[in-house]
């Protein structure tokens, strides 16, 4: 008695009955076999290349686990991700502290015994005028720092100008190493008094952190990523805008944050060149020996610096590309 061929499939009684009725079950058997052995994707219907697709991975009209792209995500999901980036402590703690500091300053001003000189330095809307001037100096100087330092940093990382990067960074180092008051005095002698020389001095003093961070961020990019971007047909401008700059954003934003805080502090020295700002209140308190005037001017400067740093930290978190975040 010969052994049965292992490749031969045993006959199904149901097939014998169908054959007896005149119905050939071969096509149905072939269809079942194709479904059974055509790979895991076809058998489950979860997104194979020829699947009609009533179940799948969420692409091309198939149902599945949900959207795979952030553009397909619901708007509520984006809001939830933004909320996870910034916790409630980050949003409330420092503003609450600054509000209490301002409240204490107002109570001190309201209950302090001020003579005529102190009232002339603080009254008549002088405080709000100096705060507005200080904010104006900070915003304008930071704007010019950004439009000078970031494009210059990009140019100095290109192949043709890469050798000039150490020279430019050395000049920026000289600008920041020079004492701010001495730099402002030289600019006043050269350009005269007013807001313009004060702005020039603040800009020169704050260029270094943004310039150096821009160069460092662009140089830190992985060369294999840039080569892959060129390999898929991207032009140099597209590689810069879509690959290099997004990867360098965290370092660039860190430099911008440092420059903002530097500008708030340096703007107090604008008073020595006739530029105004909260430095006027501080110097008035020192010159006239009025401690109340000095305390109020100093507290307002500190509160403004901390507020600017807090806003810059929020912008740093919100503008950072999602792909560079570390999941907790």
What was the pLDDT predicted at 202?
93
Q: Taking 50 as the threshold, does the pLDDT of residue 50 lie above it?
A: no
Q: 310 vs 65, which has greater pLDDT?
A: 310
Q: How far apart are the first and last CA of the chain?
A: 69
What was the pLDDT predicted at 256?
94
Q: Taking 50 as the threshold, does the pLDDT of residue 292 lie above it?
A: yes
**Would you say how long the chain is, in residues?**
328
What was the pLDDT predicted at 121?
86
What was the pLDDT predicted at 174?
86
Structure confidence by residue, pLDDT tens digits, 207-244: 999 999 999 999 998 889 889 998 998 998 999 988 99
Report residue 84's pLDDT band, with 50, 70 and 90 as the boundaries: low
Q: Can you tell me the distance from the alpha carbon of 229 to that of 246, in angstroms, rounded to the nearest whole number?
A: 13
Integer angstrom CA distances of residue 272 from 91, 130, 262, 284, 295: 36, 14, 17, 12, 19
Q: Are 201 and 247 in contact (CB under 8 A)?
A: no
Report residue 141's pLDDT band, with 50, 70 and 90 as the boundaries: very high
Q: 141, 308, 270: which is closest to 210 by C-alpha? A: 141
Which residues are CB-neighbours of 250 under 8 A, at least 6 positions away? Answer: 217, 316, 320, 324
What was the pLDDT predicted at 70?
46
Q: Are 57 and 47 in contact (CB under 8 A)?
A: yes
What was the pLDDT predicted at 28?
54
- As given in the structure block, the two tokens for residue 64 are 């599945």
What was the pLDDT predicted at 25?
53
Report residue 54's pLDDT band, with 50, 70 and 90 as the boundaries: very low
What was the pLDDT predicted at 212?
93
Mean pLDDT, residues 250-275 taken together: 92
What was the pLDDT predicted at 159?
86
Is pTM beyond 0.85? Reply is no
What was the pLDDT predicted at 207?
93
Evaluated on CA atoms 270, 275, 279, 283, the torsion sign reads positive
Integer angstrom CA distances of residue 299 from 10, 103, 124, 129: 93, 11, 19, 16
What was the pLDDT predicted at 214?
94
Structure confidence by residue, pLDDT tens digits, 112-140: 888 888 888 888 789 999 999 999 999 99
Q: 321 vs 33, which has greater pLDDT?
A: 321
What was the pLDDT predicted at 321?
77
Structure confidence by residue, pLDDT tens digits, 142-178: 999 999 999 999 999 998 888 898 998 898 888 888 8
pLDDT > 70: percent of the chain: 72
Q: Taking 50 as the threshold, does the pLDDT of residue 67 lie above it?
A: no
Report residue 103's pLDDT band, with 50, 70 and 90 as the boundaries: very high
Mean pLDDT, residues 15-26 taken together: 53
């Amino acid at each position: 008695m010969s052994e049965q061929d292992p490749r031969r499939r045993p006959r199904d009684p149901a097939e014998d009955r169908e054959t007896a009725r005149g119905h050939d079950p071969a096509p149905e058997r072939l269809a079942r076999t194709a479904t059974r052995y055509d790979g895991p994707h076809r058998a489950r219907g979860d997104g194979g290349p020829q699947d009609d697709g009533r179940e799948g991975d969420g692409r091309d009209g198939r149902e599945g686990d949900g959207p795979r792209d952030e553009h397909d995500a619901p708007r509520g999901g984006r809001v939830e991700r933004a909320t996870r980036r910034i916790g409630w402590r980050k949003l409330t703690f420092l503003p609450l502290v600054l509000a209490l500091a301002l409240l204490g300053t107002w109570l001190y001003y309201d209950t302090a015994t001020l003579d005529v000189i102190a009232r002339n330095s603080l009254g008549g809307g002088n405080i709000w005028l100096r705060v507005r001037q200080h904010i104006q100096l900070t915003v304008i100087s930071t704007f010019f720092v950004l439009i000078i330092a970031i494009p210059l940093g990009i140019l100095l990382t290109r192949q043709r100008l890469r050798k000039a990067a150490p020279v430019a960074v050395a000049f920026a180092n000289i600008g920041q190493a020079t004492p701010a008051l001495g730099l402002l005095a030289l600019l006043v002698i050269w350009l005269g008094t007013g807001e313009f020389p004060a702005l020039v001095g603040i800009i020169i003093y704050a260029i270094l952190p943004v310039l150096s961070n821009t160069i460092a961020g662009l140089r830190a990019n992985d060369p294999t990523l840039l080569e892959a971007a060129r390999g898929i047909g991207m032009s140099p401008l597209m590689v810069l805008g879509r690959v290099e700059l997004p990867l360098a954003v965290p370092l660039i934003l860190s430099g911008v944050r440092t420059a903002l805080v530097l500008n708030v502090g340096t703007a107090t020295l604008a008073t020595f060149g006739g530029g105004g700002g909260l430095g006027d209140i501080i110097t008035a308190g020192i010159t006239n020996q009025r401690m109340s005037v000095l305390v109020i001017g100093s507290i307002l400067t500190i509160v403004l610096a901390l507020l600017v740093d807090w806003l810059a930290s929020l912008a740093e978190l919100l503008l950072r590309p999602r792909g560079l975040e570390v999941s907790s």
